[in-house]
Structure 1
Amino acid sequence: MSTCTALIVPARFSEPVRVENLTPDLRTLQGLVGGDIESVTRGDWHVYLNAEGVIADLPPNLRAVQLMHDCGLDLADVARGTAVFLGRGDHGRDSDVPRHMVGRAEQLCDANLAA
């Protein structure tokens, strides 16, 4: 499995939003979100979230909610804990997060997120 550039958006404002290269395998994604994963897809991107975020009472991820909203998806009740954004490649495979998502995250966080 090849590496991809991911946009990682922690729920806690004290933790920075970051872009990093990773191998998007199950173990890595579960480690980032802190448990079992679920994926939500919209156009050329998808986001991995903790599948039990609401049940586990993880903190709402307001930055991820805003980013998803700005990119055409409203999931205020689902985005809890760390969110991992990746691109959607051929046959639904993970690919690099689209540049427009990174650009929007940079605007929201007032930060340069270049990998």
Structure 2
Amino acid sequence: MSTTCTALVIPVRLGDALRTVTIDATTDTLQQLVGGHLESVSRGDWHVYLNAEGHLMNLPPNIRAAELIREAGLDLSDAARGTAVFLGRTERGGEADVPEHLLRRAAEMFGSPLGRVS
């Protein structure tokens, strides 16, 4: 079963814009976005997917993702490496659209428009 969701993608490179994308929230799709095996961190109504081997692969820290995660109540500054994908989380732990409060906060913090890509 697949779930189509709107995700917030935060690239590791500061010069690359944050973007919202409509994805089929499958393991394969998420692995393609983060560039490898998945690690998921959940909090309340959201979760973020990261590359589980970010340290081993020597991926650079994702400063913007770490800041957004910290603003949302967790401190994972060292764990956020490579591209980060934020999605919403249902009460049963399933995938959902990224919450509006995270989209608003990301736009406020990084001052960049969130382009929509389908």
Which residue pairs with 2:59 in the alignment? 58
Which residue pairs with 2:93 in the alignment? 92
Structure 2 gap segments, 5+ residues each: none
Q: Size of the alignment, in residue pairs? A: 115
**Greater shift after overlay, 103-112 or 16-25?**
103-112
Which residue pairs with 1:104 in the alignment? 105
- Report the residue type matching 2:82 in the other structure: G
Is 2:69 the counterpart of 1:68? yes
Aligned partner of residue 91 in structure 1, secondary structure: coil
**Greater shift after overlay, 73-82 or 103-112?**
103-112
Question: Per-residue deviation at 1:15?
Answer: 1.2
Question: Per-residue deviation at 1:87?
Answer: 0.3
Which residue pairs with 2:39 in the alignment? 38
Distance 2:114 2:100 in 1: 11
Which residue pairs with 1:113 in the alignment? 114
Distance 1:28 1:108 in 2: 27
**Identity of matched residues, %:** 52
Which residue pairs with 1:48 in the alignment? 49
TM-score of the superposition, structure 2-length normalised?
Answer: 0.93
Distance 1:90 1:73 in 2: 19
Structure 1 segments of 4+ aligned residues over 3 angstroms from their partners: none
Distance 1:42 1:114 in 2: 25
Question: Per-residue deviation at 1:109?
Answer: 1.7
Question: Per-residue deviation at 1:114?
Answer: 6.1
TM-score of the superposition, structure 1-length normalised?
Answer: 0.96
1:51/1:87 CA distance change after superposition, 3 Å: same
Question: Per-residue deviation at 1:77?
Answer: 1.0
Structure 1 gap segments, 5+ residues each: none
